[in-house]
Amino acid sequence: MSRSTGLDARPLDATVPAALRRRIMATLMPGFHGTTLPAWLERRLRDGLGGVCLFGGNIVSPQQLRALTAAIRAANPRAVIAIDEEGGDVTRLYYDRGAPFPGNAVLGRLDDTAYTEAVGRRVGEELRAAGVTLDLAPDVDINSNPDNPVIGVRSFGTAPQLVAEHGAAWTRGLQSTGVAACAKHFPGHGDTAQDSHLALPVVDLGPAALRERELLPFRAAVAAGTRTIMTSHILLPQLDARMPATFSAPIIEGLLRGELGFEGVVVTDALDMHGASGGGRGIPEAAVLALAAGCDLLCIGTDNTDAQLTEIVEAVAGAIAEGRLPEARVAEAEERVLSLADDVVAGDTSVTHSPIADADAVAADELARVAAAFDLSDHAREWLAEEHDRYSIVRLDTVANIAVGRAPWGPFAAAQAEPEESASAAFTANPLVVMTEDDDPELVLAAQSPVLVIGKDNHRHAFARAAIDRLRAERNRVLVVDMGWPSDDRAYADLTTFGASRLVGQALLHLLAGDASGLRPSSSDS
């Protein structure tokens, strides 16, 4: 079969009747490679593609992003334009330099819902100005397992009611700008020690336990009016012993729609993740199962292709023909997606400032506010109180999960963005040792006292633990900073920031510089 990329070429899935093809296409939301709209994707949009999901690799500048979203809308004014901007470690708008927002864990520790709502509104303003209509945020998972490799600081915290209140506040702030929110990952991805990008996590909780904990933030998000909710690729055997949540009608239709009363769009987490399409299932069959279970908008993945969409459309059409999937279910999904697209496009368009705001001039009071969320041991306070004209920095570079990616992080992102700022200049003047899991732990002994160690989720990585143990045994005056989610005993964290966004990194730099404007928290419970 010919695979022409011309706009007027016959679609690859031309064997599917045009009306049915358009209906199926309305439920699909692929990603793509590049910074301009590919011809194949433009053709799909003109043929009724329901949405496009943008990632960090699709963005190089505000002007380019605005041109890209305009091109998508020109091809299909009813297409949803989505992005995964959580305003913390997971950022797409600021993938080249780190987000100028505090992140959820910091917001939860501060426990100021007005500030959380304001942050959600600021994120929404940036997205609205960029032409984005759906933000795949906030993350309302409860991070009840400190060894969770994929949620961590993306969560507002460990207390269900706190997560519920801040998830609802963030949702209200975001949606006040006309951008739709997406509470995720239903029915809760917090109590896992596996990453669903790479495996199928199991959460062995029954309905009663879920109602007491995991479901509270989703109830709050529904009450706050979230337009969409994202499913998780996790198995809950006490609710459905065979299918992960994304493919489970008892979880989606029974729990989410029936018990929680959600009437909006159910979005899948990316179907290219192992938890969805792994084990030989494949993306086309995952799409069929997701639609059959009650999902409406299918996030396909990142660098998708025209051929993949053809396979999905043909698989869904085949399932309808075989009686495995009612066409009425697909029609219902199409109607919900188009209704969402119409509402967000018709929403408030008063945001006119330049997208991806320059956050170099962060107010001192916001840096102080962020630093108040840090957790400091007595040793950390003593180390910071000492005069350090010079110290060695050991950077522990762990492999980031796929959701976070390779975005710059922490003080390194802050110093890169503002190299002339005094706190940045003082930080970068110190010698740096970079260590990965492939390096010999002895490498860290190149660092001379005093030593500042900076990593993320230190306790979860054997090489990081070994390096810290070695330094503590051989060097005096070692301060260990964890910019992730620490273990409960804080064994590998003297100072914990609960996030590694650029804004959090700026607050840490000022704390290290002994800023006199009150940045230093007064107690470890602040």
- Residue-wise pLDDT tens digits, 319-364: 999 999 999 999 999 999 999 999 997 654 444 544 455 444 567 7
Task: Please answer whether residues 105 and 152 qualify as being in contact, where contact means their C-beta atoms are separated by less than 8 angstroms.
Answer: yes
Among 269, 272, 296, 375, the one annotated catalytic: 269
Question: What's this model's pTM, rounded to 2 decimal places?
Answer: 0.92
Give the highest mean pLDDT range of 119-133, 346-360, 401-415.
Answer: 119-133
Among 166, 185, 189, 197, the one annotated catalytic: 197
Residue 166 catalytic?
A: no
**pLDDT tens per residue across span 191-200:** 665 555 555 6
501 or 277: which leads in pLDDT = 501
Interaxial angle between packed helices 283-293 and 306-322, expressed in degrees from 0 to 180 and rounded to the nearest 10: 50
At residue 385, the pLDDT reads 92
Give the highest mean pLDDT range of 8-22, 161-175, 229-243.
Answer: 161-175
At residue 483, the pLDDT reads 97
At residue 405, the pLDDT reads 79
The 10 Å Cβ neighbour count of residue 522 is: 10
Task: Please answer whether residues 416 and 425 qualify as being in contact, where contact means their C-beta atoms are separated by less than 8 angstroms.
Answer: no
Q: Residue 310 and residue 320: Cα distance in Å, rounded? A: 15
Distance of CA 264 to CAs 8, 35, 222, 296, Å? 34, 30, 9, 9
As to burial, measured by CB atoms within 10 angstroms (0-12 exposed, 13-18 middle, 19+ buried), residue 247 is buried
Q: Which domains does the chain have, with CATH numbers?
A: 23-345 (3.20.20.300), 364-512 (3.40.50)
Q: Residue 217 and residue 371: Cα distance in Å, rounded? A: 26
Sign of CA dihedral 50, 55, 57, 63: positive
Residue 389 catalytic?
A: no
Cα maximum dimension of the chain: 74
**pLDDT tens per residue across span 66-87:** 999 999 999 999 999 999 999 9
Tokens of 505: 């990194």
What number is the average pLDDT over the span 225-236? 94
At residue 189, the pLDDT reads 75
9 or 3: which leads in pLDDT = 9
Q: What is the DSSP string of 113-125?
A: HHHHHHHHHHHHH
228 pLDDT higher than 70: yes
What percent of the chain shows pLDDT beyond 90? Answer: 75
At residue 202, the pLDDT reads 78
At residue 191, the pLDDT reads 64
H or E element at residue 267: strand 265-267
The 10 Å Cβ neighbour count of residue 257 is: 17
